[in-house]
Structure 1
Amino acid sequence: MNPEQFQQRLADHGIKLTTAQMEQFAKYYQLLITANHHVNLTRITDEKEVYLKHFYDSIIGALAEPRLQTAALTLCDIGAGAGFPSLPLKIAFPQLKVTIVDSLNKRIKFLEELVDQLGLTAVRLIHDRAENFSAKKSSHREVFDVVTARAVARLSVLSELCLPAVKVGGEFIAYKALAAPTELAQAQVAIQKLGGQVRQTVKLLLPKINEERNIIMIDKIAPTPARYPRRPGVPNKKPIQ
Protein backbone atom coordinates (compact mmCIF):
# COMPACT_ATOMS: atom_id res chain seq x y z
CA MET A 1 0.00 0.00 0.00
CA ASN A 2 1.70 3.19 -1.15
CA PRO A 3 0.79 6.59 0.36
CA GLU A 4 -1.72 7.35 -2.42
CA GLN A 5 -3.47 4.00 -1.93
CA PHE A 6 -3.46 4.58 1.83
CA GLN A 7 -5.18 7.94 1.36
CA GLN A 8 -7.70 6.52 -1.11
CA ARG A 9 -8.59 3.48 0.97
CA LEU A 10 -9.31 5.68 3.99
CA ALA A 11 -11.34 8.04 1.78
CA ASP A 12 -13.40 5.01 0.73
CA HIS A 13 -14.31 4.69 4.40
CA GLY A 14 -15.17 8.39 4.68
CA ILE A 15 -11.86 9.39 6.30
CA LYS A 16 -10.42 12.18 4.19
CA LEU A 17 -6.82 13.11 4.92
CA THR A 18 -5.56 16.56 3.96
CA THR A 19 -2.27 17.28 2.22
CA ALA A 20 -0.87 18.42 5.57
CA GLN A 21 -1.88 15.15 7.23
CA MET A 22 -0.32 13.13 4.41
CA GLU A 23 2.88 15.11 4.90
CA GLN A 24 2.80 14.21 8.59
CA PHE A 25 2.55 10.52 7.72
CA ALA A 26 5.43 10.86 5.26
CA LYS A 27 7.59 12.51 7.91
CA TYR A 28 6.52 9.87 10.45
CA TYR A 29 7.81 7.18 8.10
CA GLN A 30 11.15 8.91 7.54
CA LEU A 31 11.73 9.54 11.25
CA LEU A 32 10.74 5.97 12.10
CA ILE A 33 13.22 4.48 9.63
CA THR A 34 16.02 6.82 10.70
CA ALA A 35 15.52 6.11 14.41
CA ASN A 36 15.15 2.39 13.79
CA HIS A 37 18.89 2.20 13.02
CA HIS A 38 19.57 3.09 16.68
CA VAL A 39 16.47 1.94 18.58
CA ASN A 40 14.60 -1.29 17.95
CA LEU A 41 11.21 0.12 16.96
CA THR A 42 9.93 -2.12 14.17
CA ARG A 43 10.85 -5.11 12.02
CA ILE A 44 8.75 -3.62 9.21
CA THR A 45 10.70 -0.98 7.29
CA ASP A 46 9.48 -1.13 3.68
CA GLU A 47 7.40 1.98 2.98
CA LYS A 48 4.40 0.11 1.54
CA GLU A 49 4.39 -2.28 4.47
CA VAL A 50 4.64 0.51 7.04
CA TYR A 51 1.68 2.32 5.47
CA LEU A 52 -0.37 -0.88 5.46
CA LYS A 53 0.72 -2.79 8.58
CA HIS A 54 1.37 0.17 10.87
CA PHE A 55 -0.45 3.30 9.69
CA TYR A 56 -3.57 1.78 8.14
CA ASP A 57 -3.68 -1.02 10.70
CA SER A 58 -3.68 1.57 13.50
CA ILE A 59 -6.52 3.59 11.99
CA ILE A 60 -8.85 0.61 11.53
CA GLY A 61 -9.69 0.93 15.21
CA ALA A 62 -11.67 4.03 14.23
CA LEU A 63 -13.65 1.99 11.71
CA ALA A 64 -14.75 -0.28 14.54
CA GLU A 65 -15.32 2.64 16.95
CA PRO A 66 -16.51 5.66 14.90
CA ARG A 67 -16.48 7.95 17.97
CA LEU A 68 -12.70 8.11 17.58
CA GLN A 69 -13.23 9.97 14.32
CA THR A 70 -15.19 12.91 15.73
CA ALA A 71 -15.29 13.06 19.54
CA ALA A 72 -12.67 14.84 21.69
CA LEU A 73 -11.93 11.67 23.63
CA THR A 74 -9.07 11.13 26.05
CA LEU A 75 -7.15 8.16 24.68
CA CYS A 76 -4.41 6.28 26.48
CA ASP A 77 -2.15 3.92 24.52
CA ILE A 78 -0.48 1.29 26.70
CA GLY A 79 2.84 -0.05 25.41
CA ALA A 80 2.71 2.07 22.27
CA GLY A 81 6.24 1.26 21.13
CA ALA A 82 6.77 3.39 18.01
CA GLY A 83 3.41 5.11 18.54
CA PHE A 84 0.94 2.54 17.24
CA PRO A 85 -2.02 2.80 17.18
CA SER A 86 -2.35 6.15 18.94
CA LEU A 87 -0.26 8.49 16.77
CA PRO A 88 -1.72 7.49 13.40
CA LEU A 89 -5.12 7.94 15.05
CA LYS A 90 -4.02 11.35 16.36
CA ILE A 91 -2.81 12.49 12.94
CA ALA A 92 -6.04 11.38 11.27
CA PHE A 93 -8.28 12.71 14.07
CA PRO A 94 -6.53 15.71 15.68
CA GLN A 95 -9.29 16.29 18.26
CA LEU A 96 -8.16 13.22 20.24
CA LYS A 97 -6.25 13.90 23.46
CA VAL A 98 -3.56 11.25 23.61
CA THR A 99 -1.46 9.82 26.44
CA ILE A 100 1.21 7.26 25.57
CA VAL A 101 2.76 4.95 28.15
CA ASP A 102 5.84 2.85 27.44
CA SER A 103 8.34 1.14 29.72
CA LEU A 104 11.40 1.79 27.52
CA ASN A 105 12.83 5.28 27.81
CA LYS A 106 14.55 5.06 24.40
CA ARG A 107 11.16 4.67 22.76
CA ILE A 108 9.74 7.59 24.72
CA LYS A 109 12.67 9.75 23.58
CA PHE A 110 11.93 8.82 19.97
CA LEU A 111 8.27 9.65 20.46
CA GLU A 112 9.14 13.02 21.97
CA GLU A 113 11.15 13.89 18.87
CA LEU A 114 8.42 12.53 16.61
CA VAL A 115 5.61 14.49 18.27
CA ASP A 116 7.71 17.65 18.10
CA GLN A 117 8.65 17.19 14.45
CA LEU A 118 5.06 16.45 13.44
CA GLY A 119 3.73 19.45 15.35
CA LEU A 120 1.23 17.40 17.32
CA THR A 121 -0.49 18.95 20.33
CA ALA A 122 -2.42 17.42 23.25
CA VAL A 123 -0.04 14.44 23.40
CA ARG A 124 1.53 13.32 26.69
CA LEU A 125 4.37 10.83 26.81
CA ILE A 126 4.98 8.87 29.99
CA HIS A 127 7.86 6.53 30.77
CA ASP A 128 6.41 3.94 33.14
CA ARG A 129 5.33 0.35 33.57
CA ALA A 130 1.63 -0.12 32.87
CA GLU A 131 1.16 -1.75 36.29
CA ASN A 132 2.46 1.39 38.03
CA PHE A 133 0.74 3.84 35.69
CA SER A 134 -2.78 2.90 36.82
CA ALA A 135 -2.06 1.56 40.29
CA LYS A 136 -4.41 2.11 43.23
CA LYS A 137 -3.28 5.64 44.17
CA SER A 138 -2.30 6.81 40.68
CA SER A 139 -3.86 9.97 39.24
CA HIS A 140 -4.17 8.07 35.96
CA ARG A 141 -6.45 5.39 37.36
CA GLU A 142 -9.92 5.18 35.77
CA VAL A 143 -9.75 8.55 34.01
CA PHE A 144 -9.56 7.76 30.28
CA ASP A 145 -12.44 7.53 27.81
CA VAL A 146 -10.56 4.97 25.72
CA VAL A 147 -7.50 2.81 26.33
CA THR A 148 -5.87 1.08 23.38
CA ALA A 149 -3.19 -1.60 23.04
CA ARG A 150 -1.73 -3.31 19.99
CA ALA A 151 0.61 -6.31 19.92
CA VAL A 152 1.59 -5.98 23.59
CA ALA A 153 0.49 -9.21 25.31
CA ARG A 154 -2.25 -11.84 25.29
CA LEU A 155 -5.65 -10.47 26.22
CA SER A 156 -5.81 -12.07 29.70
CA VAL A 157 -2.68 -10.09 30.60
CA LEU A 158 -3.53 -7.01 28.58
CA SER A 159 -6.86 -6.58 30.35
CA GLU A 160 -5.10 -6.18 33.70
CA LEU A 161 -2.68 -3.64 32.23
CA CYS A 162 -5.36 -1.58 30.49
CA LEU A 163 -8.77 -1.78 32.16
CA PRO A 164 -7.64 -0.09 35.41
CA ALA A 165 -6.93 3.09 33.41
CA VAL A 166 -10.37 3.13 31.75
CA LYS A 167 -13.03 5.21 33.46
CA VAL A 168 -16.39 3.61 34.21
CA GLY A 169 -18.43 4.24 31.09
CA GLY A 170 -15.32 4.19 28.91
CA GLU A 171 -13.88 1.40 26.80
CA PHE A 172 -10.79 -0.70 26.19
CA ILE A 173 -9.98 -1.40 22.53
CA ALA A 174 -7.61 -4.29 21.91
CA TYR A 175 -6.07 -4.83 18.48
CA LYS A 176 -5.71 -8.54 17.80
CA ALA A 177 -5.14 -10.86 14.83
CA LEU A 178 -6.16 -14.47 14.16
CA ALA A 179 -5.78 -15.63 17.75
CA ALA A 180 -8.48 -13.24 18.99
CA PRO A 181 -11.25 -15.83 19.63
CA THR A 182 -8.93 -18.06 21.67
CA GLU A 183 -7.48 -15.14 23.63
CA LEU A 184 -10.94 -13.75 24.30
CA ALA A 185 -12.20 -17.07 25.64
CA GLN A 186 -9.20 -17.31 27.98
CA ALA A 187 -9.64 -13.70 29.17
CA GLN A 188 -13.33 -13.76 30.11
CA VAL A 189 -12.74 -14.22 33.84
CA ALA A 190 -10.10 -11.48 33.96
CA ILE A 191 -12.27 -9.03 32.04
CA GLN A 192 -15.18 -9.58 34.42
CA LYS A 193 -13.04 -9.30 37.57
CA LEU A 194 -11.51 -6.03 36.31
CA GLY A 195 -14.88 -4.37 35.71
CA GLY A 196 -15.13 -4.98 31.99
CA GLN A 197 -17.76 -6.43 29.69
CA VAL A 198 -17.12 -7.46 26.10
CA ARG A 199 -19.35 -5.46 23.78
CA GLN A 200 -18.28 -6.89 20.43
CA THR A 201 -15.43 -8.00 18.23
CA VAL A 202 -15.20 -6.32 14.84
CA LYS A 203 -13.43 -8.44 12.23
CA LEU A 204 -11.65 -6.54 9.45
CA LEU A 205 -9.22 -7.44 6.68
CA LEU A 206 -6.09 -5.55 5.74
CA PRO A 207 -6.42 -4.69 2.03
CA LYS A 208 -4.08 -6.22 -0.54
CA ILE A 209 -2.96 -9.05 1.74
CA ASN A 210 -6.32 -9.95 3.36
CA GLU A 211 -4.79 -10.48 6.79
CA GLU A 212 -7.44 -10.75 9.48
CA ARG A 213 -7.64 -8.14 12.21
CA ASN A 214 -9.98 -8.29 15.20
CA ILE A 215 -10.84 -5.15 17.14
CA ILE A 216 -12.09 -6.29 20.54
CA MET A 217 -14.21 -3.64 22.26
CA ILE A 218 -14.64 -3.97 26.01
CA ASP A 219 -16.87 -1.62 28.01
CA LYS A 220 -15.88 -0.60 31.54
CA ILE A 221 -19.07 -1.19 33.51
CA ALA A 222 -17.73 -1.25 37.10
CA PRO A 223 -14.69 0.05 39.01
CA THR A 224 -11.61 -2.15 38.97
CA PRO A 225 -10.94 -3.69 42.41
CA ALA A 226 -8.13 -1.93 44.27
CA ARG A 227 -5.82 -4.96 44.17
CA TYR A 228 -5.45 -4.66 40.38
CA PRO A 229 -3.18 -4.17 38.59
CA ARG A 230 -0.77 -6.29 40.59
CA ARG A 231 2.91 -5.36 40.87
CA PRO A 232 5.08 -5.22 37.71
CA GLY A 233 5.65 -8.57 36.09
CA VAL A 234 2.97 -10.49 37.97
CA PRO A 235 0.15 -10.13 35.39
CA ASN A 236 2.33 -11.73 32.73
CA LYS A 237 3.56 -14.54 34.97
CA LYS A 238 0.23 -15.27 36.62
CA PRO A 239 -2.70 -14.10 34.48
CA ILE A 240 -6.04 -13.76 36.25
CA GLN A 241 -8.04 -16.99 35.98
Structure 2
Amino acid sequence: MPADPEPTAAAAANAAESDGAFASPTPELWQALGWAPDDNQRAQFLALQQQLREWNGRLNLTRLVEEADFWIAQVVDSLWPLLPLLRERPEAPLRCIDVGTGGGFPGLAVAIALPNARLTLVDSVGRKTQAVQAMAEALGLAERVELRCERVELTGRQKRCRGQFDLALARAVAAAPVVAEYLVPLLASGGEALLYRGQWSDDDQAELDRALALLKARVSRREQRELPAGRGLRTALTLQPVAPCPAQYPRAVGVPAKLPLGA
Protein backbone atom coordinates (compact mmCIF):
# COMPACT_ATOMS: atom_id res chain seq x y z
CA MET A 1 0.00 0.00 0.00
CA PRO A 2 1.24 3.56 -0.65
CA ALA A 3 2.90 5.44 2.16
CA ASP A 4 1.02 8.28 3.75
CA PRO A 5 1.92 11.61 2.15
CA GLU A 6 3.60 14.26 4.28
CA PRO A 7 1.94 17.60 3.49
CA THR A 8 4.12 20.60 4.32
CA ALA A 9 2.99 23.59 6.34
CA ALA A 10 3.90 25.86 3.43
CA ALA A 11 1.73 23.88 1.04
CA ALA A 12 -1.18 24.01 3.45
CA ALA A 13 -0.76 27.77 3.87
CA ASN A 14 -0.63 28.34 0.12
CA ALA A 15 -3.73 26.19 -0.34
CA ALA A 16 -5.59 28.08 2.38
CA GLU A 17 -4.80 31.39 0.67
CA SER A 18 -6.46 30.10 -2.51
CA ASP A 19 -9.71 29.15 -0.78
CA GLY A 20 -11.54 31.92 -2.60
CA ALA A 21 -10.66 30.36 -5.95
CA PHE A 22 -12.92 27.44 -5.07
CA ALA A 23 -15.93 29.37 -3.87
CA SER A 24 -17.82 28.61 -7.09
CA PRO A 25 -17.70 25.97 -9.86
CA THR A 26 -14.85 27.60 -11.78
CA PRO A 27 -12.48 25.76 -14.17
CA GLU A 28 -9.91 25.87 -11.35
CA LEU A 29 -12.22 23.82 -9.15
CA TRP A 30 -12.64 21.06 -11.72
CA GLN A 31 -8.94 21.16 -12.55
CA ALA A 32 -8.18 20.61 -8.86
CA LEU A 33 -10.57 17.66 -8.84
CA GLY A 34 -9.18 16.16 -12.05
CA TRP A 35 -12.54 15.77 -13.80
CA ALA A 36 -14.93 18.24 -15.39
CA PRO A 37 -18.72 17.90 -15.65
CA ASP A 38 -20.61 18.70 -18.84
CA ASP A 39 -22.94 21.69 -19.03
CA ASN A 40 -25.96 19.72 -17.82
CA GLN A 41 -24.05 18.30 -14.87
CA ARG A 42 -22.75 21.76 -13.96
CA ALA A 43 -26.31 23.04 -13.90
CA GLN A 44 -27.35 20.11 -11.71
CA PHE A 45 -24.57 20.78 -9.20
CA LEU A 46 -25.64 24.42 -8.97
CA ALA A 47 -29.25 23.33 -8.55
CA LEU A 48 -28.16 20.87 -5.85
CA GLN A 49 -26.51 23.69 -3.92
CA GLN A 50 -29.69 25.77 -4.16
CA GLN A 51 -31.84 22.85 -3.06
CA LEU A 52 -29.52 22.24 -0.12
CA ARG A 53 -29.79 25.90 0.89
CA GLU A 54 -33.57 25.73 0.86
CA TRP A 55 -33.89 22.47 2.76
CA ASN A 56 -31.09 23.34 5.16
CA GLY A 57 -33.09 26.37 6.28
CA ARG A 58 -35.86 24.02 7.39
CA LEU A 59 -33.96 21.02 8.72
CA ASN A 60 -30.34 22.05 9.35
CA LEU A 61 -29.05 19.16 7.23
CA THR A 62 -25.44 20.36 7.05
CA ARG A 63 -23.28 23.41 7.63
CA LEU A 64 -21.39 22.76 4.35
CA VAL A 65 -23.62 24.72 1.99
CA GLU A 66 -21.83 27.85 0.81
CA GLU A 67 -18.77 28.56 -1.31
CA ALA A 68 -15.78 26.27 -0.76
CA ASP A 69 -17.60 24.45 2.05
CA PHE A 70 -19.96 23.11 -0.59
CA TRP A 71 -17.72 22.83 -3.66
CA ILE A 72 -14.71 21.28 -1.91
CA ALA A 73 -15.98 19.65 1.28
CA GLN A 74 -19.12 18.26 -0.38
CA VAL A 75 -18.68 17.89 -4.16
CA VAL A 76 -14.92 17.37 -4.56
CA ASP A 77 -14.68 15.24 -1.42
CA SER A 78 -17.53 13.04 -2.68
CA LEU A 79 -16.09 12.53 -6.15
CA TRP A 80 -12.30 12.36 -5.94
CA PRO A 81 -12.16 8.66 -4.93
CA LEU A 82 -14.22 7.87 -8.05
CA LEU A 83 -11.85 9.52 -10.53
CA PRO A 84 -10.84 6.27 -12.30
CA LEU A 85 -14.52 5.50 -12.85
CA LEU A 86 -15.37 9.05 -13.92
CA ARG A 87 -12.55 9.07 -16.45
CA GLU A 88 -12.75 5.54 -17.82
CA ARG A 89 -16.39 4.38 -17.43
CA PRO A 90 -18.59 7.44 -16.82
CA GLU A 91 -21.53 5.86 -18.65
CA ALA A 92 -21.43 2.56 -16.74
CA PRO A 93 -24.93 1.45 -15.58
CA LEU A 94 -23.78 0.76 -12.02
CA ARG A 95 -25.98 -0.17 -9.07
CA CYS A 96 -24.76 1.98 -6.17
CA ILE A 97 -25.80 2.40 -2.55
CA ASP A 98 -24.92 5.27 -0.19
CA VAL A 99 -25.21 4.27 3.45
CA GLY A 100 -25.88 7.04 5.98
CA THR A 101 -26.52 9.59 3.25
CA GLY A 102 -27.56 12.38 5.65
CA GLY A 103 -28.03 15.46 3.48
CA GLY A 104 -27.48 13.45 0.30
CA PHE A 105 -23.70 13.08 0.05
CA PRO A 106 -21.97 11.43 -1.58
CA GLY A 107 -25.05 9.87 -3.20
CA LEU A 108 -26.55 12.86 -5.02
CA ALA A 109 -23.15 14.05 -6.25
CA VAL A 110 -22.44 10.55 -7.59
CA ALA A 111 -25.86 10.41 -9.26
CA ILE A 112 -25.04 13.64 -11.12
CA ALA A 113 -21.51 12.58 -12.07
CA LEU A 114 -22.51 9.07 -13.25
CA PRO A 115 -25.59 9.66 -15.43
CA ASN A 116 -26.41 5.97 -15.98
CA ALA A 117 -25.91 4.82 -12.39
CA ARG A 118 -28.86 3.89 -10.18
CA LEU A 119 -28.48 5.03 -6.58
CA THR A 120 -30.07 3.74 -3.38
CA LEU A 121 -29.63 6.20 -0.52
CA VAL A 122 -30.13 4.92 3.02
CA ASP A 123 -30.63 6.90 6.22
CA SER A 124 -32.55 6.11 9.39
CA VAL A 125 -33.80 9.69 9.92
CA GLY A 126 -37.12 10.18 8.15
CA ARG A 127 -36.94 13.96 7.79
CA LYS A 128 -33.56 13.63 6.06
CA THR A 129 -34.69 10.98 3.61
CA GLN A 130 -37.78 13.04 2.79
CA ALA A 131 -35.65 16.11 2.11
CA VAL A 132 -33.17 14.19 -0.04
CA GLN A 133 -36.00 12.57 -1.97
CA ALA A 134 -37.44 16.01 -2.69
CA MET A 135 -34.02 17.26 -3.79
CA ALA A 136 -33.57 14.29 -6.12
CA GLU A 137 -36.96 15.00 -7.67
CA ALA A 138 -36.14 18.69 -8.14
CA LEU A 139 -32.87 17.74 -9.86
CA GLY A 140 -34.56 15.34 -12.26
CA LEU A 141 -32.90 12.33 -10.63
CA ALA A 142 -35.96 10.60 -9.17
CA GLU A 143 -35.97 7.82 -11.79
CA ARG A 144 -32.45 6.80 -10.76
CA VAL A 145 -32.42 7.62 -7.05
CA GLU A 146 -34.31 5.60 -4.44
CA LEU A 147 -34.47 6.55 -0.75
CA ARG A 148 -34.75 3.97 2.03
CA CYS A 149 -35.54 5.14 5.55
CA GLU A 150 -34.20 2.36 7.75
CA ARG A 151 -31.20 1.19 9.71
CA VAL A 152 -28.56 -0.22 7.38
CA GLU A 153 -28.34 -3.44 9.41
CA LEU A 154 -31.85 -4.12 8.11
CA THR A 155 -30.95 -3.06 4.56
CA GLY A 156 -28.19 -5.64 4.48
CA ARG A 157 -30.71 -8.41 5.20
CA GLN A 158 -33.31 -7.37 2.63
CA LYS A 159 -33.45 -9.70 -0.36
CA ARG A 160 -33.58 -6.83 -2.83
CA CYS A 161 -30.44 -5.24 -1.32
CA ARG A 162 -28.15 -7.94 0.01
CA GLY A 163 -25.53 -8.88 -2.57
CA GLN A 164 -27.05 -6.55 -5.18
CA PHE A 165 -24.69 -3.59 -5.58
CA ASP A 166 -21.67 -2.89 -7.76
CA LEU A 167 -20.57 -0.02 -5.52
CA ALA A 168 -21.37 0.65 -1.86
CA LEU A 169 -20.38 3.99 -0.32
CA ALA A 170 -20.21 5.41 3.19
CA ARG A 171 -18.88 8.83 4.17
CA ALA A 172 -18.39 9.94 7.78
CA VAL A 173 -20.69 7.27 9.22
CA ALA A 174 -18.79 5.27 11.87
CA ALA A 175 -15.48 3.54 12.59
CA ALA A 176 -14.07 1.61 9.63
CA PRO A 177 -14.77 -1.93 10.98
CA VAL A 178 -18.39 -0.90 11.64
CA VAL A 179 -18.81 0.59 8.17
CA ALA A 180 -17.26 -2.52 6.61
CA GLU A 181 -19.91 -4.68 8.30
CA TYR A 182 -22.59 -2.39 6.86
CA LEU A 183 -21.23 -2.37 3.31
CA VAL A 184 -19.70 -5.75 2.50
CA PRO A 185 -23.00 -7.72 2.76
CA LEU A 186 -24.50 -5.37 0.15
CA LEU A 187 -21.92 -6.16 -2.54
CA ALA A 188 -22.59 -8.23 -5.61
CA SER A 189 -19.89 -10.62 -6.79
CA GLY A 190 -17.19 -8.38 -8.18
CA GLY A 191 -18.58 -5.33 -6.41
CA GLU A 192 -16.56 -2.82 -4.39
CA ALA A 193 -17.15 -0.89 -1.19
CA LEU A 194 -15.66 2.56 -0.76
CA LEU A 195 -14.92 3.92 2.72
CA TYR A 196 -14.29 7.66 2.95
CA ARG A 197 -11.94 8.43 5.82
CA GLY A 198 -9.71 11.27 7.02
CA GLN A 199 -6.41 10.45 8.69
CA TRP A 200 -5.44 6.78 8.53
CA SER A 201 -2.89 4.89 10.66
CA ASP A 202 -1.37 1.44 10.81
CA ASP A 203 -3.54 0.72 13.85
CA ASP A 204 -6.63 1.70 11.86
CA GLN A 205 -5.56 -0.64 9.10
CA ALA A 206 -4.99 -3.52 11.50
CA GLU A 207 -8.45 -3.11 13.05
CA LEU A 208 -10.08 -3.03 9.62
CA ASP A 209 -8.14 -6.07 8.42
CA ARG A 210 -9.36 -8.10 11.42
CA ALA A 211 -12.96 -7.18 10.64
CA LEU A 212 -12.55 -7.94 6.93
CA ALA A 213 -11.18 -11.40 7.68
CA LEU A 214 -14.53 -12.22 9.30
CA LEU A 215 -16.51 -10.60 6.48
CA LYS A 216 -14.52 -12.46 3.79
CA ALA A 217 -13.23 -9.27 2.18
CA ARG A 218 -9.98 -7.38 1.73
CA VAL A 219 -8.63 -3.89 1.09
CA SER A 220 -7.81 -3.80 -2.61
CA ARG A 221 -6.74 -0.15 -2.79
CA ARG A 222 -5.90 2.73 -0.51
CA GLU A 223 -5.55 6.25 -1.83
CA GLN A 224 -4.86 9.51 -0.07
CA ARG A 225 -5.24 13.07 -1.18
CA GLU A 226 -5.05 16.58 0.21
CA LEU A 227 -8.22 18.47 -0.58
CA PRO A 228 -7.76 21.88 -2.22
CA ALA A 229 -7.57 25.06 -0.16
CA GLY A 230 -6.08 23.33 2.87
CA ARG A 231 -9.25 21.34 3.57
CA GLY A 232 -7.30 18.41 4.96
CA LEU A 233 -6.10 14.92 4.20
CA ARG A 234 -8.58 12.36 2.94
CA THR A 235 -8.21 8.60 2.65
CA ALA A 236 -10.28 6.35 0.41
CA LEU A 237 -10.29 2.61 1.07
CA THR A 238 -11.67 0.21 -1.52
CA LEU A 239 -12.89 -3.17 -0.25
CA GLN A 240 -13.53 -6.27 -2.32
CA PRO A 241 -15.13 -9.58 -1.30
CA VAL A 242 -12.95 -12.66 -1.54
CA ALA A 243 -15.85 -15.05 -0.82
CA PRO A 244 -19.58 -14.72 -0.05
CA CYS A 245 -20.19 -12.69 3.09
CA PRO A 246 -21.24 -15.00 5.97
CA ALA A 247 -24.98 -14.95 6.56
CA GLN A 248 -24.68 -13.68 10.17
CA TYR A 249 -23.51 -10.25 8.95
CA PRO A 250 -24.60 -7.58 9.40
CA ARG A 251 -25.55 -8.36 12.97
CA ALA A 252 -28.66 -7.00 14.68
CA VAL A 253 -29.39 -3.27 14.78
CA GLY A 254 -26.92 -1.48 17.03
CA VAL A 255 -24.59 -4.42 17.56
CA PRO A 256 -21.92 -3.52 14.95
CA ALA A 257 -21.38 -0.11 16.58
CA LYS A 258 -21.38 -1.46 20.13
CA LEU A 259 -19.19 -4.48 19.40
CA PRO A 260 -17.07 -3.75 16.32
CA LEU A 261 -15.74 -6.81 14.53
CA GLY A 262 -12.15 -7.66 15.31
CA ALA A 263 -11.97 -5.35 18.35
**In 1, Cα distance between equivalents of 2:201 and 2:96:** 22
Paired residue for 1:40, among 60, 76, 82?
60
**1:124 and 2:146 correspond:** yes
Are the counterparts in 2 of residues 180 and 214 from structure 1 also a CA contact under 8 Å?
Answer: no
Residues 44 and 141 of structure 1, relative CA distance in 2, 3 Å threshold = same
Are the counterparts in 1 of residues 33 and 80 from structure 2 also a CA contact under 8 Å?
Answer: no
Larger Rg: 2
Aligned residues: 239
**1:188 and 2:209 correspond:** yes
Residue 74 of structure 2 is matched in structure 1 by: 54
Return the TM-score normalized by structure 1. 0.92
**In 2, Cα distance between equivalents of 1:64 and 1:37:** 35
Residue 168 of structure 1 is matched in structure 2 by: 189
Extract unaligned runs of 5+ from structure 1. Answer: none
Aligned alpha-carbon RMSD (Å): 1.9
How far 1:37 sits from its partner (Å)?
Answer: 2.3
Are the counterparts in 2 of residues 163 and 224 from structure 1 also a CA contact under 8 Å?
Answer: yes
Q: What is the 5 A alignment of 1:96-135? A: 96-120=117-141, 121-135=143-157
Residue 44 of structure 2 is matched in structure 1 by: 24
In the alignment, residue 39 of structure 1 is paired with which amino acid?
L
**In 1, Cα distance between equivalents of 2:94 and 2:24:** 27
Are the counterparts in 2 of residues 62 and 69 from structure 1 also a CA contact under 8 Å?
Answer: no
Identical-pair percentage:
30
Are the counterparts in 2 of residues 68 and 96 from structure 1 also a CA contact under 8 Å?
Answer: no
**In 2, Cα distance between equivalents of 1:19 and 1:45:** 21
**In 1, Cα distance between equivalents of 2:120 and 2:62:** 21
Are the counterparts in 1 of residues 193 and 239 from structure 2 also a CA contact under 8 Å?
Answer: yes
